[in-house]
Amino acid sequence: MSVRRTFFIIVFMIYLSASGLSGVEAATVDSKEPTPNSILAKEYPETVFFSGGKQNKQIALTFDDGPDPRVTSDLLDVLKEEDVPATFFLLGARAKAYPELVRRTHNEGHLIGNHGYWHNPIIQLSDEQARFEIEQTQQVIDQIIGVKTSLYRPPFGLLNEQKVEVVKNLDYSIILWSVDTEDWKASPPDQIVETVLETVKPGAIILHHDGSNWDTDLTGTVTAVKKEISELKKQGYTFVTVDDLLEFSE
């Protein structure tokens, strides 16, 4: 993920410049190294989650970085055909650009989560900027579908204690993942499916993407998800949204 991470850090620095931050202000942005998420999950067991309970064969499909008109609509078609609910972590900027896809995602029974506004690594932001990105995304989602989001996924999964406190104080649970398909690499569908089938366990939270850079082709994800669902159903798995998997809605 190093190339992708480097790309977005460059984008973030452009964002700082465009937002009018001086060199001195930019230098004060928190640039601490991330804390391993396994440690954070132990330090914040009521806030940071990788997976759900393992007592039932339930799993959650999740999708990041959308909505994206090249992928999201086709993906929603597959989920509707298979009668499978999923959880979508939306970028605020893309939600604002494609409100009709946000409405369709919500109206078809999927759960909406917050993924920040511009996909900036949260640990590279000041606390104020981090809050602004999350709150701006929530504002956009609320304007479109009237929903208060309660789940947040940090871009790249990069966190530290300071930023967990920021997110926690905004009344969000932080949702990571236990299965990473790495489909953002535009991997062949069979490779994506193989990754899932080899690593899935009861309670798994599976990470996919329904949005990416404009030069990345994610159509393979749509094909892969259809195959995954078919194979996992044969293995006796059922699909739920993240809040149901973690029993937040009980």
Residue 139 reports pLDDT greater than 90: yes
In whole angstroms, give the CA distance from residue 134 to residue 127: 11
Sorted by sequence, the CB contacts under 8 Å of residue 27 that are 6+ apart come out as none
Mean pLDDT of the region 184-203: 96
In whole angstroms, give the CA distance from residue 87 to residue 106: 10
Count the neighbouring beta carbons within 10 Å of the beta carbon of residue 73. Answer: 17
Residue 15 reports pLDDT greater than 50: no
Residues listed for the chain = 250
pLDDT at 32: 76
In whole angstroms, give the CA distance from residue 228 to residue 236: 12
Residue 180 reports pLDDT greater than 90: yes
pLDDT, one tens digit per residue, over 63-84 is 999 999 999 999 999 999 999 9
pLDDT at 19: 41
Q: Mean pLDDT over all residues of the chain?
A: 89
Give yes or no for a contact between 69 and 220, defined as CB atoms under 8 angstroms apart.
no
Residue 161 reports pLDDT greater than 90: yes
pLDDT at 28: 39
Mean pLDDT of the region 114-138: 97
pLDDT at 192: 97
- Considering only 30-44, 96-110, 125-139, 163-177, which range has the smallest mean pLDDT? 30-44
Question: What architecture does CATH give domain 2-245?
Answer: Alpha-Beta Barrel (3.20)
Mean pLDDT of the region 119-130: 96
pLDDT at 249: 65
Residue 210 reports pLDDT greater than 60: yes
pLDDT at 17: 41
Strand-pairing partners, residue 239, are 59
Which pair of tokens denotes residue 181?
């398909």
pLDDT at 30: 54
Q: How far apart are the first and last CA of the chain?
A: 36
Burial (0-12, 13-18, 19+ Cβ within 10 Å), 191 = middle
Per-residue pLDDT band for 96 (boundaries 50, 70, 90) equals: very high
Burial (0-12, 13-18, 19+ Cβ within 10 Å), 72 = buried
Instruction: Name which residue leads in pLDDT, 20 or 212.
Output: 212
Catalytic residues: 64, 209
Segments making up each domain of the chain, as ranges:
2-245
